[in-house]
Chains A and B, each alone.
Chain A
Amino acid sequence: MRVGACAEATRQNAGGIANIGFIVGSTGVAVIDPGGSLLDGRRLHAAIRAVTQLPITYVISTHAHPDHVFGGEAFLPDHPIFVGHWRLPAALANRAAYDHARLAAILGEADTGDPVSPTLLVRDALTLDLGGRKLRLRATTAAHSDTDITVLDEGSHTLWAGDLLFVGRIPSLQGNLKGWLTALDQIAAIPAVRAIPGHGPASVPWPEGAADERRYLTVLLHDVRAAIAAGQDIDAVTGTAAQSERGKWALFDSYNGHNVVVAFKELQWE
């Protein structure tokens, strides 16, 4: 697997800021997140071909965000089955043009590419077989995004958590805060010894590796809820909520304020 750069997408990192990789079975290969751009996807493709000539049978997208899906186009010539959350096709249709324009402005048109909409959809759970190697896919309700799925590689007891798990880099909330904490409880029960975060190191022990993220999300929930109860305004809360987490995360100042806004939007209806 390839560990993503802990940064925003730039021309230098070619949008390769997420952890992406592949699993080789006896009859085929599954890609788990095709990468953050056409160039990023082509590099992953080359890395696969350096290891095996088996057919690439599945390309799994853990969710709709551009740093995970824009490499999809690089795998079209292999005619794999594209797999994702049941809401992924709509999410990609809604945001792909916007994400493409933003990414192309950074990377240049030639290297940007486009996501490929999945045809095999995960409604609740789904099992893929790579030939003696089973992958258990599970869909969650809105959490980090509203298209999150996890992949358990049973043979190696490894959980590909996608962006349900951030380690070191501040979690980015785009879906539902309470839903994310619930999803963390659910995936903590998945029998894996290690997990691969969407952003962070190549792997962390499971489920202990989710402790920091759980603490951050819990502090965020507590602080925003308390501020709303005290009648504070959204503009005041963005500068105060979860500030105790500052210094514990990379890119804190780039994302915490936005996370507070998203949490406020959700919790103001409680």
Chain B
Amino acid sequence: MGMKRHGLAAIVLAAIGMAWAVAPACADEAEANRAARWHDVAGAIFNGRKITESAGLIAIDAPPRALDASLVPVTITVQPGPKIVGLTLVIDDNPAPVAARFRFGPLADPHVLKTRVRVDQYTLIHAVAELQDGSLVSTERFIKAAGGCSAPGTESSTEALARIGRMKMRLVPAASPGGPMTADLLISHPNFNGMQMNPVTRLYTPARYVQSVSVTEGGKSVFTMEGDISLAEDPAITFSFRPAGNAPLDVQVNDSAKAVFKQSFPLETHAS
């Protein structure tokens, strides 16, 4: 799995090497370069499968100019329509463009999904939804933010490491009876991205990041997420679901150092 993903990253980087070498002389050229970059990145991630532009089915929102490039909130909203089985969030110009890949289980009601990412330079970000029939639809947004990947870890990363694996969950009851609940999941993890060089030793601080998050209720899946180094420190995921019963939400987090963190959150004590 790890090898496969690294292989993918290598393909992507090789493919866009040429594009990076060209300094955009004007806005049109920059735009053309972004389109070319997305073509290459999408081709590598989705093995050349056809991707059509979302005609209003999904939308992606993020601040046009990020306040903190190492923590950029991204919201994906899905309109009622064809069932969505997966969502991929791509930060086109990040060194590891795939920020997260979600697979939705039977309990998911993916009308809203939020997370926080690192952004290395001005870039398009894409959300790609996979429909039940296997087709892919995408939507994009341009973000101005820079330095979120190679920036030195904030002073808080020491604290994140100290409480690694701790989780918080905030549940928002359904707006109407039988409607979906929303949950904010927060996972303490430094998500070290391996891109900071120590100028004395010339070594990179080793990457250690959240590789997967799985949320289930009573043994049934809400979603699983594959993460990568583009997720911000202390990964946060807001998701919506329809509880099958009153069993607690079980969360399991696996990181790249093979650590496993588990926690259960009762549904009823949080609902009011």
Residues of A within 8 A of B (CB): 91, 93-99, 102, 117, 142, 145-146, 174-176, 231, 233-235, 238, 257-258, 260-262, 265-266, 268-269
Q: Within 8 Å of chain A (Cβ to Cβ): is B37?
A: no
Identify the stretch in B2-10, B41-49, B146-154 within 8 Å (CB) of chain A at 4 or more residues: B146-154
Classify the interface of chain B: helix, strand, loop or mixed. loop
Residues of A within 8 A of B155 (CB): 142, 145-146, 174-176
Chain B window 122-159, contacts with chain A (Cβ cutoff 8 Å), 1 for yes, 0 for no: 00000000000000000000000001001111111011
- Check if A93 sits within 8 Å of B200, measured CB to CB: yes
- Interface stretch (choices B67-75, B99-107, B208-216): B67-75
Structural contact, B198 and A93, CB atoms closer than 8 A: yes
Contact call A257/B186, Cβ cutoff below 8 A? no
Chain B residues lying within 8 Å of A176, measured Cβ to Cβ, are 155-156
**Is B163 a contact of A234 with CB atoms below 8 Å?**
no
Which residues of B approach A to under 8 Å, CB–CB?
63, 67-68, 71, 73, 75, 114, 116, 147, 150-156, 158-159, 163, 166, 168, 170, 172, 184, 186, 188, 196-201, 205, 233-234, 238
Q: Is the CB of B168 within 8 A of A261?
A: no
Contact B67 A258 (CB under 8 A): yes
Asked whether A257 and B170 contact (CB < 8 A) given A94-B152, A266-B156, the answer is no
Known: A261-B71, A262-B156. 4 other contacts (CB 8 A): A98-B147, A146-B158, A176-B156, A269-B166
Complex A-B, nearest 9 residue pairs according to Cβ-Cβ distance, in ascending order: A95-B152, A257-B67, A146-B155, A235-B73, A261-B68, A97-B199, A94-B152, A175-B155, A258-B67
Contact across chains for A93 and B199 when beta carbons are under 8 A apart? yes
Shortest C-beta distance, A6 to chain B (Å), equals: 21
Q: B154: which A residues are within 8 A, CB to CB? A: 174, 262, 265
Distance from B155 Cβ to chain A, minimum over Cβ atoms (Å)? 4
B163 touches A269 (CB 8 A): yes
| Alpha-carbon distance A102/B146, docked complex (angstroms) | 11
Cβ-defined contact, A238 with B67, below 8 A? yes
Taking a contact as CB atoms under 8 Å apart, the answer to whether B196 and A94 are in contact is yes
Please state if B158 and A98 are interface contacts (CB–CB under 8 Å): no
Which of these, A102, A117, A258, A268, contacts B168 with CB under 8 Å? A268
In chain B, what residue has the closest Cβ to A89?
Answer: B200
**Across-interface contacts of B186 in A (CB, < 8 A):** 268-269
Give the shortest distance, in Å, between B45 (CB) and chain A (any CB). 26
Among candidates B71, B172, B197, B233, residue contacting A234 with C-beta atoms closer than 8 Å: B71
Residue on B with the closest CB to A142? B155
CB nearest to A147 among chain B residues: B155
A34, chain B: closest CB distance, angstroms: 18
Residues of A contacting B188 in the complex (Cβ-Cβ under 8 angstroms):
269
Measured in the bound complex, the distance between the Cα atoms of B79 and A142 in whole Å is 44
Q: What residues of chain A lie closer than 8 Å to B152, measured between beta carbons?
A: 91, 94-95, 98-99
Q: List 30 A-B contacts (CB under 8 A).
A: A91-B152, A93-B198, A94-B153, A94-B196, A95-B152, A97-B197, A98-B147, A98-B152, A98-B196, A145-B155, A146-B155, A174-B154, A176-B155, A231-B172, A231-B184, A233-B114, A233-B238, A234-B71, A234-B116, A235-B73, A235-B75, A238-B67, A257-B68, A261-B68, A262-B154, A265-B71, A265-B234, A266-B156, A266-B159, A269-B163
Q: Check B163 against A261 for contact (C-beta < 8 Å).
A: no
Q: Contacts A93-B199, A93-B200, A98-B151 hold; do A235 and B68 have CB atoms under 8 A apart?
A: no
Q: Nearest Cβ in chain B — how far from A218, in angstroms?
A: 20
A233-B114, A261-B68, A265-B156 are contacts. A94–B73 as well, Cβ < 8 Å? no
Q: Which residue of B63, B68, B153, B166 contacts A262 across the interface (Cβ within 8 Å)?
A: B68
A265 closest partner in B (C-beta): B156
Q: Which of B68, B151, B163 contacts A258 (CB 8 A)?
A: B68
| CB <8 Å contact, A98 and B150 | yes
Query: How far is A228 from B218 in the complex, measured between Cα atoms in Å?
Result: 29
Complex alpha-carbon distance, A27 and B155, angstroms: 37
In Å, the complex CA distance between A97 and B201 comes to: 12
Closest to B61 in A: A235
CB distance from A29 to the nearest CB of B (A): 28
Which residues of chain B are within 8 angstroms of A98 by Cβ–Cβ distance?
147, 150-152, 196
Residues from chain A with Cβ under 8 Å of B151 in the complex: 98
CB <8 Å contact, A231 and B170: yes
| A residues in contact with B168, CB < 8 Å | 268-269
In Å, the complex CA distance between A238 and B75 comes to 15
Please pick, from A94, A95, A142, A260, the residue contacting B67 in the complex, using a CB distance under 8 A. Answer: A260
Q: Which residue of B lies closest to A97 (CB)?
A: B199
Bound Cα distance from A12 to B86, whole angstroms: 51
Q: For B201, what are the chain A residues with a Cβ–Cβ distance below 8 Å?
A: 93
For the complex, give the distance between the alpha carbons of A98 and B69 in Å: 14
Cα–Cα, bound, A97→B198 (Å): 8
